Amino acid sequence: MDTIRTDPAARDRATMDRYRRHLSTGRAALGEMFGGDVEVAARGAWVRTSAGRELLNCGGYGVFITGARHPRVLRAVRRQLSTNPVATRLLIEPQVALAAEALVGTTPAGLDRVHFACGGAEAVEAALKMARANGKRRLVSMENGYHGKTLGALSVTANPLFQDPFRPLLPDTAHVRYGDAAALEAELAAHPDESCVIVEPVQGEAGVVIPPFGYLAEVRRLCHQYGAFLILDEIQTGLGRLGYWWGAEREAIVPDVLLAGKALGGGVLPVSAAIATAEAFAPFDRDPFLHTSTFSGSPLGMAAAQAAIAAIRDEHLVFRSRWLGELLREEIAEILVERLGAAVREVRGLGLLIGIELAVDGLAGELLLELMAAGVIANHSLNSAQVLRLTPPAVMDHEDVDFLLHAVDRAARAVRDVL
Ligand SMILES: Cc1ncc(COP(=O)(O)O)c(C=O)c1O
């Protein structure tokens, strides 16, 4: 016991052991594969391990657009913690109203009703139920799309690996090719006035797949034409990640419901939201108990969301995301093509959602490991083994950018040997 208190390596082994005994042996094995580092602190773009290593956080699945523990978010959360962290839910509470107003101030005009939740999949569930309450019983989603793993969200996440062990899922679902408006039209035309379409503006977990420009506007038009309800899932892409406040802006569309999550809690707390038009929200508006959950709109999360939105706005993080993304994609492509040649298929993305697609099986995983060895945390892509994803924070400075580019170069040289 004494050794565990004084020896960091012994403490890390004990953590790993607890993972094995009480969480997941698979997760422990994965942790070991990544070098067994144990994270204990985070600040801005950086994560510190128990052994004192500093890692640049280009992972985190898109959460950290404001970096970790943004000072403004911390201040707001601390203030709320010392006054009213969790509401009674019977009385009216100001923070949730202020957060809704702040969020609606960032979304396309016409989206002004908000249902708050904690995780992303919960926001997806709320939106799917809103579609049902509006009479849409068929669900149309996109091949390789990702919307989460609760049963409803999983029903529209078209990956047999995640779906098959849990069948039967929701009935009356169809999956059509992403980026293919004609395929969507055929599906909607066969079931007019019955469908709910859920789509991402850029597919993140599919490996940063950007649809042809004009596709989203066409999806919006088709949904109008065939009486379908449109959910735009911006849980990963929203709040500046793409170099726009919302991917919806890029094609000037207004969905029936827009989904937010990940970055909404300012890298401090879990907060998500379904932001709807008044018409789409009407069933929830009439009966406030139709869809509820205890921690929906909790004041602590709401303080974090307001501060996150204010930080993104006042520090021009949307603009920073756009230009940092352009710079990084260009530089990373240059390094990788020089080091790995044709093994690199493409470096693509919008803003700070960057995908590196590799042409050799297993290379994305090798690169992920080597990046970690070089001090950078990256993401794999749940629905595409060939694509390594970088989701760096928009608060990175020049030194962080240099560090990342050196790490990419070092990792690329290291994986060259396995080619
Ligand atoms: C587009 C999209 N929707 C929904 C989700 C699910 O969010 P959560 O994992 O918080 O439930 C994710 C998570 O990666 C996502 O990327």
Q: What is the pLDDT of residues 261-312, one digit of tens each?
A: 999 999 999 999 999 999 999 999 999 999 999 999 999 999 999 999 999 9
What is the average per-residue pLDDT within 372-385? 91
Q: Any idea how long the chain is?
A: 419
The CATH superfamily holding the domain 2-24+33-66+316-418 is Aspartate Aminotransferase, domain 1 (3.90.1150.10)
Question: Does any ligand 1 atom lie closer than 6 A to the CB of residue 205?
Answer: yes
Which residue has its alpha carbon closest to ligand 1 atom 16?
A: 236
Question: Does any ligand 1 atom lie closer than 6 A to the CB of residue 147?
Answer: yes
Tokens 């978010």 correspond to what residue? 73
Ligand 1: centre distance to CA 236 (Å): 7
**What would the two tokens of residue 191 be?**
């079931």
Question: Does any ligand 1 atom lie closer than 6 A to the CB of residue 61?
Answer: yes
Residue-wise over 78-93: b if at least 16 C-beta within 10 A, else e?
A: eebeeeeeebeeeeeb
Q: Which of 63, 235, 295 to mutate to test the pocket of ligand 1 (most atoms within 8 A of CB)?
A: 235
Residue whose C-alpha is closest to residue 135's, from 273, 282, 276, 259: 282
Confidence (pLDDT) at 245? 98
Q: Which of 202, 236, 241 to mutate to test the pocket of ligand 1 (most atoms within 8 A of CB)?
A: 236
Q: How confident is the model at residue 396 (pLDDT cuts 50, 70, 90)?
A: very high
Q: How confident is the model at residue 8 (pLDDT cuts 50, 70, 90)?
A: confident
Tokens 């596709």 correspond to what residue? 215
Which residue has its alpha carbon closest to ligand 1 atom 6?
A: 148
Q: How confident is the model at residue 7 (pLDDT cuts 50, 70, 90)?
A: confident
Q: What is the DSSP letter of 110?
A: T
Ligand 1: centre distance to CA 210 (Å): 17
Residue 208 zone, left/alpha/beta (φ > 0; ψ -120 to 50; rest): left
What does the pLDDT look like over 41-63, one tens digit per residue?
999 999 999 999 999 999 998 89
Tokens 């293919």 correspond to what residue? 180
Cα(53)–Cα(45) distance, integer angstroms: 14
**pLDDT of 94 over the 60 cut:** yes
**What would the two tokens of residue 66 be?**
């404001």
Q: How confident is the model at residue 122 (pLDDT cuts 50, 70, 90)?
A: very high
Q: How confident is the model at residue 382 (pLDDT cuts 50, 70, 90)?
A: confident
Q: What is the DSSP letter of 22?
A: I
Cα(97)–Cα(116) distance, integer angstroms: 11
Question: Does any ligand 1 atom lie closer than 6 A to the CB of residue 162?
Answer: no
Ligand 1: centre distance to CA 120 (Å): 5
Confidence (pLDDT) at 304? 98
Residue 358 phi/psi, 5-degree rounding, is -110, 150
Question: Does any ligand 1 atom lie closer than 6 A to the CB of residue 256?
Answer: no
β-bridge partners, 158: 143
pTM across the whole model: 0.97
**pLDDT of 414 over the 90 cut:** yes
**What would the two tokens of residue 240 be?**
């500046």
Question: Does any ligand 1 atom lie closer than 6 A to the CB of residue 120?
Answer: yes
- The alpha-carbon radius of gyration of the chain (Å, integer) is 22
Cα(241)–Cα(327) distance, integer angstroms: 15
What does the pLDDT look like over 308-341, one tens digit per residue?
999 999 999 999 999 999 999 999 999 999 999 9
Which residue has its alpha carbon closest to ligand 1 atom 10?
A: 120
Residue-wise over 157-178: b if at least 16 C-beta within 10 A, else e?
A: bbbeeebeeeeebbeeebbbeb
Confidence (pLDDT) at 5? 67
- Among residues of the chain, what percentage have pLDDT more than 90? 93
Domain 71-314 has CATH 3.20.20.150: no
List strands edge to edge, sheet with 353-358.
344-350, 353-358, 384-390, 379-381
CB 10 within 8 A of CB 3: yes
Residue whose C-alpha is closest to residue 392's, from 39, 43, 54, 56: 56
Annotated domain spans of the chain: 2-24+33-66+316-418, 71-314
Question: Does any ligand 1 atom lie closer than 6 A to the CB of residue 124?
Answer: yes
Q: Specify the 3-state DSSP secondary structure of 31.
A: helix
Question: Does any ligand 1 atom lie closer than 6 A to the CB of residue 204?
Answer: yes
